[in-house]
Amino acid sequence: MKFTTLRFIAVIMTITISFTSANKLSASALTLGGGGNWNDGYLCPQIFINNKDQGEAKIFAKEITQPNGENTYGMTFAFSQAPKDDMIKKVGLDLGSNKFRIAYRKMLNNFKYVNPWGNKYIEGTVQDEAGVQYPFKILLPYKTFGWYINDTEGNKIAASMNSHSTLRTSSVVSSKYTLRTNYQSYFDAKKSFDAISKNKKAYEDHVNAKKAKLTELSGQIEGLKTKAVEAGKNENNKRIELLEAQAILDDLLKKETSIAGEMTAINESTESLKKEKDDVTKIKEQLTKIVEDTKTAINAEYVKLVKYAPQRTADINQSKTDLFAENKDGYISNLNKVYS
């Protein structure tokens, strides 16, 4: 009797295990992947962008967690064959031979590793050059018993993607900020140089015009600050009035900051003008040094930007051309195409 009971339990367990395994296998029949390992990469069965399957691709865990060389600025995906959908081309750089690299600056730092019943996966958000965001999912290789990637490794990959995203996005923002700051120094020093190259009177007129503009903007800003405060105090005031005042104020503050940057260079050269009233040559030498030093700094930041965003090389180079041609609108327009 006891033997029969044990046999019955064993049969039930066998059936249960077989049924469970069959369910797992059938549910994962198309999502097994090719396995792999940490050092050589994992062959993932599916990569989803905007919920569209791109196909099977290998990811390189070691290079993600320890970036080097060409993988410093982005994550490489080696597809087994041509991607099934064009979404990868919207967010990634085509390296040829069915390899694509998604720049870390295009990844939002919201990736997480998930270990459900079935395939483990990493999901988060990526964006294209226009800043349009898409859900992104890497289905990790499946193993019926055991695993190819354990939870520690999965979490390490997701955490590295997030940290690289933050670092590279910050780097792009920093370079763009540095360029905008140096542009003001370059623009004003160049204008000052052009003015003093004519005569001292033209230079003094240039300085006085900038001072007058700063005074004008300061007056507008003070008036808008007062308006914003009053709008906030009046409970019956329409919300839109306050918002409009704040929007205009923000814009003027940006202009004031811009002109303040120019004024710094002007004030420095004005002091030199006072000390060297009769020595125009020395003032021109000083302004020449400011122009050349600023150009060197600007060129260095553009080199960095090309590394961060190789897809935007043409826009980056055009932005630099426009900057040195003193085409401010073109310079800013092309720089803004480098989405961070």
> Among the listed ranges 22-31, 102-111, 168-177, 183-192, which one has the minimum average pLDDT value?
22-31
CA-to-CA separations, 148 to 54, 123, 125, 302, in angstroms, rounded: 21, 18, 24, 42
CA distance 142 to 120: 7
Q: What is the mean pLDDT of the chain?
A: 77
Q: Which residues contact 135 (CB under 8 A, 6 or more apart)?
A: 48, 49, 50, 51, 123, 124, 125
CA distance 285 to 308: 35
pLDDT: is 308 or 221 the higher one?
308
CA-to-CA separations, 220 to 212, 254, 258, 260, in angstroms, rounded: 13, 13, 15, 15
CA distance 3 to 11: 12
| Eight-state DSSP code of residue 101 | E
- The answer to whether residue 166 scores a pLDDT higher than 80 is yes
- The answer to whether residue 9 scores a pLDDT higher than 60 is no
Q: Does residue 36 come out as left (phi exceeding 0), alpha (psi in the -120 to 50 range) or beta?
A: left
Question: Do residues 165 and 306 touch, judged by C-beta distance below 8 A?
Answer: no
Give the angle 274-197-277 at the CA atoms, nearest 5°.
20
Q: Which residues contact 317 (CB under 8 A, 6 or more apart)?
A: 302, 306
Q: How do residues 322-332 score in pLDDT, each as one tens digit?
A: 888 888 888 88
Question: What is the average pLDDT across 117-133?
Answer: 89
Domain ranges in the chain are 32-149, 171-217+262-335
CA distance 96 to 78: 10
- Is 103 in a helix, a strand, or coil? strand
CA distance 73 to 240: 42
Global pTM? 0.62
Q: Which residues contact 245 (CB under 8 A, 6 or more apart)?
A: 224, 227, 228, 231
Question: What is the average pLDDT across 93-112?
Answer: 93
Question: Do residues 77 and 57 touch, judged by C-beta distance below 8 A?
Answer: yes
pLDDT at residue 244, as a whole number? 57
Q: How do residues 251-274 score in pLDDT, each as one tens digit?
A: 555 555 555 655 665 665 556 555
Q: How do residues 23-54 score in pLDDT, each as one tens digit?
A: 333 333 436 667 789 999 999 999 999 999 99
Question: In terms of Cα–Cα distance, which of 186, 213, 194, 207 is closest to 322?
Answer: 186
CA distance 131 to 210: 36
Question: What is the average pLDDT across 109-126?
Answer: 90
The winner for highest mean pLDDT among 51-60, 317-326, 327-336 is 51-60
pLDDT: is 131 or 267 the higher one?
131
pLDDT at residue 233, as a whole number? 58
Structure tokens at 44: 């993932």
> Among the listed ranges 99-103, 193-197, 235-239, 319-323, which one has the minimum average pLDDT value?
235-239
pLDDT at residue 18, as a whole number? 40
pLDDT at residue 270, as a whole number? 58
First to last CA, the chain: 73
Question: What is the average pLDDT across 81-98?
Answer: 94
> Among the listed ranges 72-81, 136-145, 266-275, 280-289, which one has the minimum average pLDDT value?
266-275
Query: 32-149 has which CATH code?
Result: 2.30.29
pLDDT at residue 225, as a whole number? 67
CA distance 68 to 320: 28
Question: Do residues 74 and 101 touch, judged by C-beta distance below 8 A?
Answer: yes
> Among the listed ranges 34-43, 205-214, 243-252, 309-318, which one has the minimum average pLDDT value?
243-252
CA-to-CA separations, 187 to 80, 94, 160, 244, 325, in angstroms, rounded: 51, 37, 40, 31, 10
